[in-house]
Amino acid sequence: MAARDQRLVVRSELPVARSQAFAWHDRPGALPRLTPPFMPAEVADPGRGLAEGSRVVLRLPVGPLRGPLAGLAPRWVAEHTRYDPPREFVDVQRSGPFARFAHRHRFEDLGAGRSALVDDIAYRLPLGRLGQAVAGRVVSGKLEAMFAYRHRVTREDLAAHAAKEVEPMHVLITGASGLVGSALTAFLTTGGHTVTRLVRRAPASDDEARWDPATGEVDRAALAGADAVIHLAGEGIAERRWSAEQKQRIRDSRVDGTRTIAQAMADLGDDAPRTLVCASGAHAYGDRGDAELDESSEPGEGFLADVVRDWEAAADPAREAGIRTVHVRTGIVQDPAGGALGKVLPLFKLGLGGRLGSGRQWWSWVSRDDVVGILHHALTNPEVSGPINATAPNPVTNAEWTRVLGRVLGRPTALPVPALAPKVLLGTELAEELLFFSIKVHPAKALATGYTFRHPDLEDALRFLLGREQASS
């Protein structure tokens, strides 16, 4: 006998009018913003937005079916069957993992510039009652976690945009396909801003323009038409062991890229974008033990500290031309889709995680959404210039970070990792600077200029990022 439909209803009040909430969902960045990092899905075809008849195709990477093999991953095809702005839209599964899946997104007008989002999902698992008996509780738990994530992102993104009260901007972004860049692009576009991605190949769409730091080339017409540039591109610090050649690539990718952008902006004179926001790093402060560091602290020592010094100085042409220039000194970004957390998560899930060495070294961490938030804050706040720390206000030692991650995952973390192990794996210098330097950074400027952290507490951040919150229904 066929199983009955299961139902999940999740409701959240939003700090904006119904029309604004609906518009946020109707923009291209909404699907990436609403895709949880703990339930990865890749957009194979975004369709034609929310229009009736439009189909969205998602790849669902499973096990080894990632990267080059992603084309073999299972697909979920959803078709939009109702579009009634600003009241509701509906999509249904046409093919995918469920026997049936229908999702109604409803928007209620609460008056006084407020609204409510109601997600009403009816679904049925394959294999009827057997499928429900075997996998029902697991699937319902995953759906609750997914919609808890989606509703929190929606509430917080809408609140962040509403708080700024700025006119829509045209922003150029380098490194837009990276971990932070892709999240920032989605965040800005759902907020009503226009983003042009600066790419090193021939542009493939209207929202791309070319640049090449190796030759100093930048599409000047694209620059002249923009309000601001956010420069995130750079060689990954931990992509491979540090040889002399790799260290040179790390330095050159940051210094040459920043100089190319800054000089091109300066050369445009009155036609230049008025703001340049550049990625930078908390390693500017070097290994400083238990000292609390902020933007007024002296620079430190080490390869990465030297890179940051030259990286930030490379923006001088823009600064000298009167362009407001900001350097976002980012800490250890927490995101299970990449970075440090993504690399160690499989070991911690197996109960094999542990503190590194003594564990006493301070880790100045930050959630991906707070990096995005501080970049947005730097973009839209004319008070902000020079360095600004993108680190959570509550740094932790590596030992505490390890305990919290283990507690969130429900796994033991009793076995320490000898300092020698990562040094053998990564090389001594890379391991020392990346894992064992003690850098206790305070985000003084962000707090002083009114930025409110989404995730000031590590456990809250990890529960959110790993899907350990529960939706209210």
Distance of CA 456 to the CA centre of its chain: 16
Residues 168 and 23: their CA atoms lie apart, in Å, by 14
CA neighbours within 13 Å on the CB side: how many for 366?
30
pLDDT of residue 70 exceeding 50: no
427-472 tens-digit pLDDT: 999 999 999 999 999 999 999 999 999 999 999 999 999 999 754 4
pLDDT band of residue 340 (cuts 50, 70, 90) is confident
Tell me the CATH number of domain 170-465, given options 3.40.50.150, 3.40.50.720, 3.40.190.10, 1.20.120.1200.
3.40.50.720
CA atoms within 13 A on the CB side of 70: 12
pLDDT of 239 reads 84
Cβ atoms of residues 325 and 278 within 8 Å: yes
Q: Could you give the C-alpha distances from 365 to 260, 277, 283, 333, 442, in angstroms and in order?
A: 30, 20, 12, 6, 11
Nearest to 90 by CA among 125, 122, 131, 133: 122
Residues of CATH 3.40.50.720 domain(s) within the chain? 170-465
Share above pLDDT 70 across residues of the chain, in percent, rounded to a whole number: 96
Per-residue pLDDT band at 8 (split at 50, 70, 90): very high
The residue among 332, 314, 458 whose CA lies nearest residue 389 is: 332
Residue 66 has pLDDT above 70, yes or no: no
Tell me what the mean pLDDT of segment 187-204 comes to: 96
Q: What is the mean pLDDT of residues 403-426?
A: 93
Domain at 6-164: CATH architecture: 2-Layer Sandwich (3.30)
Contact 243, 250 (CB under 8 A): no
Rg of the chain over Cα atoms, rounded to whole angstroms, equals 23
Question: In the chain, which residues fall in CATH 3.30.530.20?
Answer: 6-164
Predicted confidence band at 153 (pLDDT cuts at 50, 70, 90)? very high
Look at residues 174, 386, 204 and name the one whose alpha carbon lies nearest to residue 265: 174
DSSP states of 345-375 as a string?
HHHHHTT----BTTS-SEE-EEEHHHHHHHH
Helix axes 398-409, 339-349, angle to 10 degrees: 60
Q: Higher pLDDT residue, 355 or 40?
A: 355
Mean pLDDT along residues 182-195: 97
**What's the one-letter identity of residue 381?**
N
pLDDT of residue 200: 94
- Residue 83's pLDDT band, with cuts at 50, 70 and 90, is very high
State yes or no: pLDDT of 67 exceeds 70. Answer: no
Taking the C-alpha atoms of residue 261 and residue 51, their distance in angstroms, rounded to an integer, is 38
pTM of the model: 0.94
Please state the rounded mean pLDDT for residues 184-212. Answer: 96
Residue 282: pLDDT over 70: yes
Is residue 208 within a helix (H) or strand (E), and if so which, with residue range?
strand 208-212
Alpha helices in 268-337 (DSSP H): 303-313, 316-320
Please tell me the distance from the alpha carbon of residue 80 to that of residue 78, in angstroms, as a whole number.
7
Token duo for residue 116: 């409510």
Query: What is the rounded distance in angstroms from the CA atom of residue 250 to the CA atom of residue 238?
Result: 10
